[in-house]
């Protein structure tokens, strides 16, 4: 007999094209870049620009990047999200643990309705983004609300000492392997206008860095912050990672270690943008060593952490939103 009245946990990630083929990459980009939580421009202005210029120009380039990083079993982001889901399910044996994607499949609303039909009554939605920003969480929250299923959403988890200690230990472990001149905490950027309109992301990034530094054994003065993945002509959060890398090389700091605290799994930004494009920029500017601290990537400790904060969320007894 089907178990009733279970607790539910839905892990939500950004998503990935169904394949690295142009048609699937175009469909994914169109859904992603049509979300007004991501691009806030008026639809009447943005949609003709997106369909007429941006998608034709960007699709083939993005498809090339996806083809380069695609694994025999699929997109790394999807692979690691599935693995997180499986591991957390083992840790929460009496829960119903599933995953969904903001863009692409599995669909958030469909998964929530399946969980409700299975008898899940206390459902936690956990976006796999340590820091909150409208550009990632806004679309998730909108889809959750539109589903009509009662849930509670964990808005961020960067502030947990357990997470900060895990990240600090990963950084220290990598730092000990070579003689680095700088350790760059590189976060995914967002438009500056979002922060001016009240988005807490920049504050949470600074608090993440400050929290992790407390546990680092390496010299704190070597730590710098930067932002990557800028898209479009509007100003985004600075300093830009690419500029920071060129400046460090010009100053004679030729050995750098990159940390990506806003990414919990390897994805296009860590594999292609950093380890290929930003590596090439740094080397061309006179840099020598460019290494990256691996993300959590469904490690046992990180999956322990996800299970713990989900249980804690229910223990706190917060009201479930309609």
| Per-residue pLDDT tens digits for 278-320 | 999 999 999 999 999 999 999 999 999 999 999 999 887 554 3
Check residue 255 and give its pLDDT. 98
Q: Domain locations in the chain?
A: 6-157+300-315, 161-292
Hey, what CATH topology would domain 161-292 get? Rossmann fold (3.40.50)
188 labeled part of a ligand binding site: yes
Sign of CA dihedral 171, 172, 176, 182: positive
Check residue 1 and give its pLDDT. 39
Distance CA 290, CA 245 (A): 10
86 labeled part of a ligand binding site: no
pTM for the structure as a whole: 0.94
Judge contact between 289 and 184, C-beta under 8 A. no
Asked if domains 6-157+300-315 and 161-292 share a fold, the reply is: yes
Best CATH choice for the domain 6-157+300-315 from the list 3.40.50.1400, 3.50.50.60, 3.30.70.20, 3.40.640.10:
3.40.50.1400
Enter the tokens of residue 114: 């399946």
pLDDT < 50 stretches in the chain: 1-3, 319-322
């Amino acid at each position: 007999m089907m178990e009733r009245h279970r607790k539910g946990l839905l892990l939500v990630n950004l998503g990935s094209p169904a394949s690295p083929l142009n048609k699937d990459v175009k469909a994914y980009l169109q859904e992603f870049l049509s979300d007004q939580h991501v691009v806030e421009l008026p639809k009447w202005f943005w949609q003709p620009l997106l369909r007429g210029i941006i998608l034709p120009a960007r699709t083939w380039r993005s498809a090339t990047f996806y083809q380069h990083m695609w694994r025999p079993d699929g997109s790394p982001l999807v692979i690691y999200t599935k693995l997180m889901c499986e591991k957390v399910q083992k840790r929460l044996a009496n829960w119903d643990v599933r995953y969904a994607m903001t863009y692409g499949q599995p669909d958030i609303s469909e998964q929530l309705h399946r969980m409700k039909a299975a008898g899940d009554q206390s459902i936690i939605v956990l976006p796999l983004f340590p820091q909150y920003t409208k550009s990632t969480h806004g679309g998730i929250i909108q889809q959750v609300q539109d589903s009509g299923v009662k849930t509670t959403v964990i808005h961020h988890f960067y502030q947990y000492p357990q997470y900060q200690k895990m990240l600090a230990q990963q950084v220290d472990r990598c730092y000990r392997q070579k003689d680095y001149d700088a350790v760059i905490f590189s976060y995914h950027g967002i438009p500056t206008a979002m922060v001016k309109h009240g988005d807490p992301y920049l504050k949470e990034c600074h608090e993440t860095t400050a929290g992790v530094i407390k546990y680092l054994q390496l010299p704190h003065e070597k730590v710098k912050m930067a932002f990557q993945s800028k898209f479009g002509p509007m100003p985004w959060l600075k300093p830009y990672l690419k500029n920071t890398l060129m400046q460090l090389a010009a100053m004679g700091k030729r050995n750098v270690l990159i940390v990506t605290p806003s990414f919990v799994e390897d994805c296009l930004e860590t594999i292609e943008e950093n380890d290929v494009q930003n590596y090439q920029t740094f080397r061309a500017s006179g840099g020598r060593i460019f290494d990256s601290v691996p993300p959590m990537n469904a490690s046992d400790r990180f999956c322990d952490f996800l299970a713990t904060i989900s249980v804690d969320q229910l223990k706190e007894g917060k009201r479930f939103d309609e």
